[in-house]
Amino acid sequence: MSNNIPVPLLDLKPQYQALKPELDAALARVAESQYFILGPEVECFEKGVSTYCNVDHGIGVSSGTDALIVAMMALGIQPGDEVITSPYTFFGTVGSIVRLGAKPVFVDIEPHTFNIDISKIEAAITPKTRVIAPVHLFGQMADMGSIMELAKAHNLIVIEDAAQAIGAKQNGQPACSFGDFGCLSFFPTKNLGGFGDGGMVVTPHAAHADRARQLRNHGMEPKYFHAHVGGNFRLDALQAAVLNVKLQHLDTWHEQRRENAAAYRKAFEKAGLTRNCDDLINGDLRGGILLPEELPGNYHIYNQFVVYADQRDALMEHMKAHNVGCEIYYPLSLHQQECFQNLGYQAGDFPHAERAAAMSVALPIYPDLSPEMIDRVVEVIAAFGTQ
């Protein structure tokens, strides 16, 4: 092999070092103010994110999972209600539904995008359906035009799970600006990541926003008067201060991730490793890689660069042995998780989601990845095929 440089799955230190003076000043500003919960830093960040997402209202909360919970609580989701979503996503998407006593109803994914298959949603709608909750997985938006048409036809609410997709667009329109609510995460590994947990609910509806603000603070309005039972879902001022700094650089980081994705495509094609979706579905990647497909009109921000790989687990062992980072998102589809067995789903119910869990692997894609690192990743994968 031409080089032996290690390639971590993610390295946040270069980003931190580049922004250290700004970040240190922001943290010192909060420390001097001694205003740590909500307050002006949070209000500034809420305004910045809602403007960025082209919606009127932003409500900072404690995590992406709590953003989903607050949104559904604000809508009055309760036991007996059904929420249609994907079985191939982070646990918080579905855990939030179950925590409110509602029932998740799964629809399989499109294998080439990892997002919910729009053609299968209508068959899952019942008289108990209240919400469609599409997940914009790995940084690419689901087909929101079709989802909104379907929701309108059936008088359903739409909650966009954009935990991995702040800044993604569809025909120029940002994620979170289509549905009744958009939910964001600022977990440190996200494109816009804090120094800990954080999230936001955004909505175009003033009444929804008012209810969400009350619910994130124990349903309190005014102080010590509680019209509703909410929770402690508040965003810390320290996190908001960090995120206010980082938000100004987000578009640049998106472009760097997109450039890295393009470099991967070029390198994999040059190495002769690229395969197509039919090969995947037919179970014959022939030692190759199926790259993520960016659909026309979509602006993919590549929170993760997830490929399908032949002999995925053995390939990962090979990559790790050569100091190339990789990860599985996610190793078990949610309908097969032990805690959701009472939903009655069986292995084989969602074959595309199950295949993704068995064959997909995330490669390094962070903004500070160098061209030499990308070449190294592809070189190591190509070497596996020749063993």
Residue 106: alpha-carbon gap to chain centroid: 18
**Domains of the chain (ranges, CATH numbers):** 13-247 (3.40.640.10), 250-385 (3.90.1150.10)
Compute the CA torsion angle 210, 211, 217, 223 (nearest 10 deg). 70
What is the pLDDT, as a whole number, of residue 195? 97
Element containing residue 202 per DSSP (H, E): strand 199-203
* 111 closest CA partner among 347, 365, 306: 306
271 vs 65: CA distance, rounded Å: 40
What is the pLDDT, as a whole number, of residue 363? 98
The predicted-structure confidence for 185-243, as pLDDT tens digits, reads as follows: 999 999 999 999 999 999 999 999 999 999 999 999 889 999 999 999 999 999 999 99
SS3 368: coil
Q: Return the ∠ at Cα 166 (arms to 162 and 171), rounded to 5°.
A: 90
* 66 closest CA partner among 39, 38, 99: 99
Assess whether the previous peptide bond of 330 is cis (omega < 30° from 0).
yes
DSSP letter string, 252-315: HHHHHHHHHHHHHHHHHHHTT-B--HHHHHTT--TT-EEPPP--TTEE---SSEEEEETTHHHH
Q: Is there a contact between 189 and 11 (Cβ–Cβ < 8 Å)? A: no
* 287 closest CA partner among 262, 314, 306: 314
What is the pLDDT, as a whole number, of residue 253? 98
pTM over the 0.75 mark: yes
Q: Is there a contact between 74 and 212 (Cβ–Cβ < 8 Å)? A: yes
| Low-confidence stretches of the chain (pLDDT beneath 70) | 1-2, 386-387
Q: Please state whether beta strands 360-363 and 169-170 pair in parallel, antiparallel, or not at all (unpaired).
A: unpaired
| Residue type for position 109 | I
Residue 115: count of CB within 10 angstroms of its CB: 22
Residue 359: count of CB within 10 angstroms of its CB: 21
66 vs 236: CA distance, rounded Å: 14
Q: Which two tokens stand for residue 358?
A: 């068995």
Give, as one character, the DSSP assignment of residue 146: H
The predicted-structure confidence for 75-100, as pLDDT tens digits, reads as follows: 999 999 999 999 999 999 999 999 99
What is the pLDDT, as a whole number, of residue 284? 87
94 vs 88: CA distance, rounded Å: 10
The predicted-structure confidence for 161-174, as pLDDT tens digits, reads as follows: 999 999 999 999 99
Q: Render the burial of 263-280: b for 16+ CB within 10 Å, e for the rest.
A: bbeebbeebebbbeeebb
Q: Is there a contact between 9 and 304 (Cβ–Cβ < 8 Å)? A: no
* 180 closest CA partner among 74, 96, 84, 102: 74
